[in-house]
Structure 1
Amino acid sequence: FLPLNIVALTTDLAPGNDEIYEETQEKFLTNGNPQEGQVVLYKISVDRGMPWDEAWAKWHALSGEDDGFYLSHKLRGTQPCVLLAEQGRGQNFILYKPNIGKQAHPESPDNLQHRYYRVTPEEAKGFWENQFTFSFNKCSHANWNGRCKQIDQGGECWLGMRLRQYHMLCGALLRVWKRVADVVCDITSSSVLQIVRLKTKQHNKQVGIKIPEACVGRLRAELSQMDEAVMRGRREREQQLLLSHYYCSQQGAPLDLSCLPRPAPDPALALPEGLLDLTTSSPSLSPAEP
């Protein structure tokens, strides 16, 4: 069972997206009884974009009166924004964009008509392909203004970027749950840990805790300290086990009497002259004194 003071929400990391890649993984040992466990910190990349071939196939299957490709009246940088609109179940439209794929929130007909005008697939294709390529690792600010102030100042900006990166912690989660919750709460002031599931392009299925980007460095340090403590405890137990085996083996070994003082020879048991006593150490081979 999960701790009562923590709320866990289970969602898909990237619903409807098959372009999920496992970039890196870091393994950390956890304390356990009777045996140790392990957690793995994964770095996951998600390509949210919709390539032109997929957009064209989507458009080809549409039948609504106002369905189709649209360009924005206002230029963003040197080009208009492009999207594909599909009539939803109600009056609102579902929007698809080259950089983010399916937009999370629907668009009302009034907003769509006010900000965009409808074009043919041929007119939309060039803008779609340009924005799809540009947005792979560049944010919308760079697309609109030619640069991003946040990136210029050494920060990160993910706005409108096709490639998004996430961190998730998998494995023996209950053993580190409080440690993770304390880090997240201390940095984000939220006690909610989000449980996510995903299937990567390599067909690996994972379920774990989604770690906010701001918490990754601190959590990695905490897990590293825990891993070192577990390894230190393991080495101490191994040393104790070796010592225990040594003492046990010594108890069953023959007594070593070599350290006891040798009694003085009994003249009555002296060997005849010329015979060598092999029960004693060899006589010194140093040359005789003159």
Structure 2
Amino acid sequence: MWVGSLRAEKRGMDWAEALEKWSELTGAKEGFYVSQQARNNKHTAVLCVAAVNSHKKEKLTKKDIMFQIYRPNTGLQLRLESLAELEKKYRRVESSEAETWWRQQYAASQRVCSHAYWRAVCRNAADCEVGLRVRTHHVLAGSVLAVWARVEHVLAQRTHLNKMQVVRIKTDDGLKIVGTLIPKNCVEPLKEALSSDAVSVSEQKFEPTDALK
């Protein structure tokens, strides 16, 4: 049985990708936007792409016109935003103006969380992964059925998870792993709990993986 730490780079959009996407746009309101207000002397740059319109109105208001939002650190966002929302927070700009802010956040998000980037401080900076392009996933694998009750007990004390997530992983060197995702704050307590039961537990670290499902 082992607990593995895998670093997976799966998010974000670099400037070249953003420009390629931007070059395909034709809508008058599509394109790059920059935040109206600066935070920590920085502006947010986003790329807005018109979403498929499901409204049947003949005349659409700004609240009806929806956009997909791409960010440098996290790529395509799940939530759509209306033109009304966009214009409250951002202003449309040329690509040359967006480039500096886009490149800056993309580069920083390799290692700097969103809290530290926008506020210059994070109370959990050493471990915080909010807004990072590269995140660490901790996986418990091996013969876990015999100690599953102990695993659930440790997790229940430190998390509010209703169910565990099983993942299938293939590392860069071709190793295939099936295991359970473990929250970071549970890794050390879990290793201690299993070791106290005379269970053989080892820890392995893997560099970026190309599959985490």
State how far apart, in whole Å, the 2-side matches of 1:170 and 1:196 are: 10
SS at match of 1:182: helix
Counterparts of residues 80-95 of structure 1 (less than 5 Å)? 80-90=43-53, 91-95=65-69
Matched, 1:75 2:38: yes
Q: Who wins on radius of gyration, i.e. which is larger?
A: 1
State how far apart, in whole Å, the 1-side matches of 2:176 and 2:26 are: 36
Matched, 1:168 2:135: no
Counterparts of residues 18-57 of structure 1 (less than 5 Å)? 39-47=1-9, 48-57=11-20
Partner of 2:154: 183
Q: CA deviation at 1:215?
A: 1.1
Partner of 2:189: 218
Q: Which amino acid aligns with 1:71?
A: V
Does structure 2 conserve the Cα–Cα contact (< 8 Å) formed by 1:76 and 1:143? no
SS at match of 2:36: strand
Q: For residues 189 and 51 of structure 1, do their structure 2 counterparts lie closer, same or farther at Cα, with a shift above 3 Å needed? A: closer
**1:96-145 superposed Cα distances (whole Å, 9 cap, x missing partner):** 11111222322222211211111122221111111111221112222223
State how far apart, in whole Å, the 1-side matches of 2:155 and 2:162 are: 7
Does structure 1 conserve the Cα–Cα contact (< 8 Å) formed by 2:32 and 2:92? yes
**Structure 1 stretches of 5 or more lacking a match?**
1-38, 232-290
Does structure 2 conserve the Cα–Cα contact (< 8 Å) formed by 1:181 and 1:193? no
Q: For residues 99 and 190 of structure 1, do their structure 2 counterparts lie closer, same or farther at Cα, with a shift above 3 Å needed? A: closer
State how far apart, in whole Å, the 2-side matches of 1:205 and 1:94 are: 35
State how far apart, in whole Å, the 2-side matches of 1:229 and 1:167 are: 18
Counterparts of residues 266-281 of structure 1 (less than 5 Å)? none
Name the TM-score, length of structure 2 as normaliser: 0.76
RCO (CA 8 Å, sep 6+): is it higher in 1 or 2?
Answer: 2
**1:237-274 superposed Cα distances (whole Å, 9 cap, x missing partner):** xxxxxxxxxxxxxxxxxxxxxxxxxxxxxxxxxxxxxx
Matched, 1:59 2:22: yes
State how far apart, in whole Å, the 2-side matches of 1:42 and 1:164 are: 14
Does structure 2 conserve the Cα–Cα contact (< 8 Å) formed by 1:184 and 1:191? no
Matched, 1:135 2:109: yes
Does structure 1 conserve the Cα–Cα contact (< 8 Å) formed by 2:73 and 2:105? yes
State how far apart, in whole Å, the 1-side matches of 2:17 and 2:130 are: 22
Q: CA deviation at 1:83?
A: 0.9
SS at match of 1:75: coil
Q: For residues 96 and 206 of structure 1, do their structure 2 counterparts lie closer, same or farther at Cα, with a shift above 3 Å needed? A: farther
Q: For residues 185 and 130 of structure 1, do their structure 2 counterparts lie closer, same or farther at Cα, with a shift above 3 Å needed? A: same
State how far apart, in whole Å, the 1-side matches of 2:37 and 2:170 are: 38
Name the TM-score, length of structure 1 as normaliser: 0.58
State how far apart, in whole Å, the 1-side matches of 2:24 and 2:172 are: 26
Q: CA deviation at 1:160?
A: 2.0
Partner of 2:77: 103
Identity of aligned residues (%): 36
SS at match of 1:76: coil
Q: Which amino acid aligns with 2:132?
A: M
Q: For residues 172 and 158 of structure 1, do their structure 2 counterparts lie closer, same or farther at Cα, with a shift above 3 Å needed? A: same
